[in-house]
Amino acid sequence: MLFSSITFVILFLPVTLLVYYCCPFIKAKNIILLIASLLFYAWGEPRFVLIMICSIMLNYGAGLLIGNAGFSVSKRKVSLALGVSLNVLILFYFKYLGFSEHILNSILKITHISEFQFTTAKIVLPLGISFYTFQSISYLMDVYRTPALVQKNILNLGLFISFFPQLIAGPIVRYHDINEQIKERKHRFDIFVQGVERFIIGLAKKVLIANTLAEYVDGILRLQYAWTPSVYLLLAVISGALQLYYDFSGYSDMAIGMGRMFGFHILENFDYPFISKTPTEFWRRWHISLSSWFRDYLYIPLGGNRKGFIRQIINLLIVYSLVGLWHGAEFHFIVFGLMSGAVIVLEKSFQSILNKLYGKGKAASTIRSILAHIIALSYTVCIFMFFRLNIKDGLDFYCNLLDFTRKIPLSVDLLLLADTRFSVFFACGLAFSFPWWRKLHIPINGFTTALKYALLIVLLVLSIGRLATDAYNPFLYFRF
């Protein structure tokens, strides 16, 4: 079930909220949320809810071992290694076994080592397994570092792992950020209203902007690139990056909003990444929960930047290649990750030049700032095409985009550029990817408050109307 579906918006969420607030005690509320989360997951994947339950039981047992005060440090390390390994093995089986089989078969075929070919049954990927596996690992790591955090109530741990607002698309919640909220949290009307506002904004970003851009990006990518005008291809690059941003940040906004409706404070996952001046800053602002997870649980344990520049480069490439692989078990995701890491390495290598470029001084600060934005945006917008195209198609796409000597037949349809709906939401996508309104200093009074709620109602009506009349509702991160 998608958040951006009629069933969820007008049935599942309202009913869950009603039952939740009918329960006076926090323990009862947690049980209601746990049941709702399992039902939410079983709605689209009934056979995989057992895997979710097994994951909860596995991590509950592993957490008790890791947090056992009577165990020596070595026993706790072994328990941690075993718990993390089992989580990774489950993820590997469902997400990467087929990919590994393909690689091994290709090696055997190329090297002629053997005529044997590995064959396994087609494995269906459980929804959200990447997200809840990483949350489970964060729980085990947090308990190892602070044994007092161990959760002895399996229902509370089950709620942490399966909490439906961030189950299938994040943000990746850290256990130490939310464990106290599971035990006790505030339910205030103003917080609830903030959650509703955030949910409506996220729904509008997903349904109105991302879905509209997706229609045209998909349409352009179905064309033969050699016979497609470069302006179309450039439009696909920009629209594709915007679609991915509004698709995922919209879902994150809905998750954060629903969290507030239920009294939880979920940390931000996006912070206007397209205003970044460097690739490093971009990854601090894009999918923050994933970037910070890899930083804290992999990059820093590998040594980070503490063991010399060469080791730092190796660590960065390892981390970003795994970031790419996390997104999908295909080569183009690895390329996406390695390209991201390579640009970060280049930034680190030429840091002194960049410092001069972005240096202090008022005379040329505007020019430096604009140039920095152009460099960062060019990098980020371009690599995202490899997020959705395989390597061959991606190279073909960019070769034709940069080939201005091509002769395009006059019969190529150019009506897309005159499409009003696309133009409006493309312009909105560009405009609202930058927080320009923060500088307006809008006063808070009766008129502006009424205007805000009127706009929110309009957005909600338009979003529900779009969902009711248009079956096209893709979600790029649904595969994870």
Quick one: which of 80, 101, 78, 82 has its CA closest to 90?
82
Distance (Å, whole) CA 284 – CA 39? 34
Inside any domain, residue 478: no
> In the listed set 132, 164, 185, which residue is the last one of a domain according to the structure?
185
Distance (Å, whole) CA 97 – CA 112? 22
Annotation marks residue 327 as catalytic: yes
Do 21 and 150 share a structural domain? yes
Do 196 and 343 share a structural domain? yes
Do 293 and 390 share a structural domain? yes
pTM recorded for the entire structure: 0.88
For residue 304, the model assigns a pLDDT of: 83
Quick one: which of 374, 425, 7, 433 has its CA closest to 207?
425
Distance (Å, whole) CA 263 – CA 265? 7
| CB 256 within 8 Å of CB 268 | yes
> In the listed set 185, 209, 242, which residue is the last one of a domain according to the structure?
185
Exposure on the CB side of residue 464, measured as CA atoms within 13 A: 13
pLDDT tens for the 480 residues of the chain, in order: 778 788 888 999 999 999 999 988 999 999 999 999 999 988 877 888 899 999 999 999 999 999 887 888 888 999 999 999 999 999 998 888 888 887 787 777 777 666 666 666 677 778 888 889 999 999 999 999 988 889 999 999 999 999 999 887 778 888 888 888 998 888 999 999 999 999 999 999 999 999 899 888 888 888 888 888 888 888 888 888 899 999 999 999 999 999 999 999 998 999 999 888 888 888 889 889 988 999 998 998 888 888 888 888 889 999 999 988 888 888 888 888 888 888 888 877 776 565 655 555 554 456 666 766 777 777 777 777 887 888 888 888 888 888 777 766 644 455 555 577 888 899 999 999 888 888 888 888 888 889 989 999 999 999 998 888 876 656 565 555
Inside any domain, residue 475: no
Do 209 and 145 share a structural domain? no
C-alpha pair distances (Å), 21 with each of 31, 33, 37: 12, 11, 16
Do 402 and 295 share a structural domain? yes
Number of separate domains in the chain: 2
Inside any domain, residue 477: no
Inside any domain, residue 480: no
Do 207 and 176 share a structural domain? no
Do 212 and 128 share a structural domain? no
- Cβ-in-10-Å burial (0-12, 13-18, 19+) of 373 comes to middle
* Three-state DSSP state, 363: coil
Do 455 and 313 share a structural domain? yes
CA 196 to chain centre: 21
The 3-state secondary structure of 349-361 reads HCHHHHHHHCCCC
Inside any domain, residue 115: yes
Determine the structural domain holding residue 180 and report its residue range.
6-185
Inside any domain, residue 1: no
Quick one: which of 197, 156, 198 has its CA closest to 56?
156
Number of helices (H) and strands (E) in the chain: give both, helices first: 23, 0
CA 332 to chain centre: 17
C-alpha angle with apex 221: 220 to 224, nearest 5 degrees? 90
Do 211 and 181 share a structural domain? no
Q: How many other CB atoms are there within 10 angstroms of residue 6's CB atom?
A: 12
Quick one: which of 266, 249, 252, 263 has its CA closest to 177?
266
Do 176 and 227 share a structural domain? no
Inside any domain, residue 169: yes
Do 131 and 86 share a structural domain? yes
> In the listed set 133, 150, 185, which residue is the last one of a domain according to the structure?
185
Do 207 and 178 share a structural domain? no
Inside any domain, residue 447: yes
Tokens 């995922």 locate to 248
Tokens 């399996």 locate to 154
Strands (E), 349-460: none
Query: Which one of 102, 187, 287, 327 is the catalytic residue?
Result: 327
